[in-house]
């Protein structure tokens, strides 16, 4: 796809793209960099923020498209293309006491553990709360945070355990963190998303298609 | 200071704090984690965003305080305490051609190189532009980005060189990146900042003082 890019780069064009603060958890910026190198005349302005901030920007035409979680989006309003399926796992420090020995655990086995969770601006927060409801699980939540990196830091300090997509658990940064599968298939789908009837510039359309086709190369999990 | 924290943690208090997207470039979250572990009854809500977004939030009382760059702040309006002095350096990929051999270089030696720069919402952008003015330097800027990690990725791809605080150059993530000192002392001061006459809660006051006294433990540079 990089071969046919040059035809689009005859004048400097600006594309506005939103992304969740996924950091190096997915190799999103590397994809974008490879695109940028091939398309030097395109300026991609990236807004990195929570889903709760990105969606209104998309709604008001401030973004051409965004890479966000599709789990709560209305298909009547948005057009989206899934690019990565996230599996949510239990995250704990290797010294954490009270972690069940089994390879995969159910929430009911975790009721004695203190939890730290994503804050309620996050789709991941809602995913967790819905699953807690379904399984009639009432965790002791001692802290919430808007950024997964801060959650990882809190778990790493031994303050509690959390539930996060496996791809976000950066064990380069926090080598003492461990993951364990959760029964009940907690998943989140990341997709490239645009307003259904929005007219995009040729450049924005091209970059949208680039992500829709190439997806995110996640780290080896 | 951690010893006297417990007196503040008799009820769950919420503190709103802004931080620049410094990521692991400074060990800011580690400091905050150590505070949080000692003060379990405090909920610190972190807003991570560009300086251009954080300062209005501070002005409107949405944040108790923020860790931002002090270089452009009005001392009539804000009270601040410097916690880290950033040195700006030239950043390039080890395969980049045309880098002068000297240990430290002046901007005039770099006029043949393509630049990628922080976008104009950033204090770092303004710092660079002012220095370019002073030295009558007119770089060829081929791209701007709102996040330093994306700049690093672009430089790593060989697209161009950039100027960034040395502490932000993550060579764990991008081992092929190199830094070179710049003549002319380009510096940026990170500080903990609050509105001059703002009344903070006892908890917020305590955390502000914690940062003011302890500063940021930067990575070994």
pLDDT 10s digits, A135-190: 999 999 999 998 899 999 999 999 999 999 999 999 988 999 999 999 988 999 99
Residue range A99-120, pLDDT digits in tens: 999 999 999 999 999 999 999 8
Q: Where are the beta strands (DSSP E) in chain B?
A: 13-19, 42-48, 65-69, 78-93, 104-105, 114-118, 140-145, 162-165, 177-182, 187-195
| Least Cα separation, residue B134 to chain A (angstroms) | 27
* Least confident interval from A36-40, A93-97, A124-128, B4-8: B4-8
What mean pLDDT comes out for the span B65-93?
A: 94
Which residue stretches of chain A are H helix? 28-38, 51-59, 123-134, 148-156, 202-214
| Contacts A34 to B, Cβ<8 Å | 157
- Per-residue pLDDT band for B27 (boundaries 50, 70, 90) equals confident
What's the CA gap between B218 and B221, in Å, rounded? 8
| Residue A155: count of CB within 10 angstroms of its CB | 25
Closest Cβ opposite residue B33 in set A23, A30, A154: A154
Q: Are B154 and A33 in contact (CB under 8 A)?
A: yes
Percent of chain B with pLDDT over 90: 67
- Indicate whether B221 pLDDT > 50: no
CATH topology of domain A86-187: D-Maltodextrin-Binding Protein; domain 2 (3.40.190)
Whether B63 shows a pLDDT value over 60: the answer reads yes
Report how far residue B211's alpha carbon sits from residue A166's, in angstroms, rounded to the nearest whole number.
32
CB of A27 within 8 Å of any CB in chain B?
Answer: no
Look at residue B8 in the predicted model and tell me its pLDDT.
41
Instruction: Report the alpha-carbon distance of residue B206 to residue A165 in Å, rounded.
Output: 34
Residue A50 contacts B, CB cutoff 8 Å: no
* CB-CB neighbors (< 8 A) of B143 in chain A: 36, 40, 43
* CB-based contact A18:A65 (threshold 8 Å): yes
- Minimum mean pLDDT range among A1-10, A144-153, B52-61: A1-10
Going by pLDDT thresholds of 50, 70 and 90, the confidence category of residue A37 is confident
Question: A209 to each of A70, A152, A192, B207, how far by Cα in Å?
Answer: 17, 33, 9, 46
**Torsional sign, CA A96, A100, A105, A109:** negative
What sections of B1-122 are H helices per DSSP?
A: 28-38, 51-59
Euclidean distance between CA atoms A190 and B136, whole angstroms: 46
**Average pLDDT score, chain A:** 88
| Residue boundaries of the structural domains of chain A | 2-84+189-214, 86-187
Of A32, A45, A153, the CB nearest to B33: A153
- Provide the CATH topology of domain B2-84+189-214: D-Maltodextrin-Binding Protein; domain 2 (3.40.190)
pLDDT on residue B10:
43
**Does this complex have an ipTM over 0.95?**
no
Residue B157 has pLDDT above 50, yes or no: yes
Please enumerate in sequence order all residues whose Cβ is within 8 A of that of B193, keeping only pairs 6 or more positions apart, or say none.
Answer: B58, B65, B66, B67, B68, B70, B73, B78, B79, B80, B81
Reading phi first (left if > 0) and then psi (alpha if -120 to 50, else beta), residue A61 is in left
Neighbour count for residue B120 (Cβ, 10 Å): 11
Query: Strand pairing partners for A173?
Result: none
Interface probe, candidates B47, B143, B175, chain A, greatest A C-beta count within 10 A: B143
Q: Residue A4 — very low, low, confident or very high, per pLDDT cuts 50/70/90?
A: very low
Task: Read off φ and ψ for residue B219, nearest 5 degrees.
Answer: -60, 155
What per-residue confidence (pLDDT) applies to B121? Answer: 82
- Is pLDDT of A211 > 50? yes
Give the number of beta-carbon pairs within 8 Å between A and B.
82
Q: Angle A164-A167-A171 (CA atoms, 0-180°, nearest 5)?
A: 90
Q: pLDDT class for A29, splitting at 50, 70, 90? A: confident
- Among candidate residues B56, B86, B53, the one with its CA nearest the CA of residue B69: B86
Query: How far is B121 from B119, CA to CA, in rounded Å?
Result: 6
Mean pLDDT along residues B40-54: 88
Identify the closest residue of chain B to A46 by CA–CA distance: B146
Instruction: Assess A158–B contact: CB distance below 8 Å, yes or no.
Output: yes
Mutation to test the B interface, candidates A44, A48, A53, most B Cβ within 10 Å: A48
Start-to-end Cα distance in chain B: 26
C-alpha torsion angle, residues A158, A163, A164, A167 (rounded to 10): 80
CA–CA distance, A105 with A181 (Å, rounded to integer): 6
CA distance B180 to chain A (A): 23
Contact criterion met (CB below 8 Å) for A182 and A99: no
Using a CB-CB distance cutoff of 8 angstroms, which residues of chain B are in contact with residue A151? none
- pLDDT over 70 percentage in chain A: 90
In tens, the pLDDT along B166-179 reads 999 999 889 999 99
pLDDT on residue A136: 94
A49 contacts in B (CB within 8 Å)? 49
Determine contact, residues A78/A54, Cβ cutoff 8 Å.
Answer: no
Q: In chain B, whose CA is at the least distance from the CA of A40?
A: B142
DSSP letters for B70-100: -TT--TTTEEEEEEEEEEEEEEEETT-TT--
Are the folds of B2-84+189-214 and B86-187 the same? yes
**Cβ contact B117:B188 at 8 Å:** no
* DSSP character at residue B60: T
Contact B157/A at CB under 8 A: yes
């Amino acid at each position: 796809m990089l071969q046919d890019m040059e035809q689009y780069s005859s004048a400097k064009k600006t594309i506005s793209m939103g992304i969740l603060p996924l950091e190096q958890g997915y190799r999103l910026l590397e994809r974008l960099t490879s695109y940028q190198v091939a398309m030097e005349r395109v300026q991609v302005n990236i807004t990195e923020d929570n889903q709760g901030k990105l969606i209104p920007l998309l709604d008001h035409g401030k973004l051409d498209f965004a890479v966000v979680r599709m789990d709560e989006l209305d298909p009547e309003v948005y057009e989206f293309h899934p690019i990565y399926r996230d599996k949510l796992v239990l995250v704990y420090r290797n010294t954490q006491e009270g972690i069940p020995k089994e390879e995969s655990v159910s929430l009911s086995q975790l009721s004695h553990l203190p939890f730290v969770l994503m804050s309620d601006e996050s789709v991941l927060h809602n995913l967790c709360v819905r699953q807690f409801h379904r399984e009639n699980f009432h965790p002791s939540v001692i802290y919430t945070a808007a950024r997964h990196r801060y959650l990882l830091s809190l778990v790493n300090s031994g303050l509690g355990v959390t539930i996060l997509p496996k791809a976000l658990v950066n064990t380069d940064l926090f080598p003492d963190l461990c993951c364990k599968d959760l029964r009940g298939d907690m998943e989140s789908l990341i997709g490239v998303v645009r307003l259904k009837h929005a007219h995009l510039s040729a450049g924005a359309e091209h970059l949208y298609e680039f992500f829709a086709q190439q997806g995110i190369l996640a780290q080896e999990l």
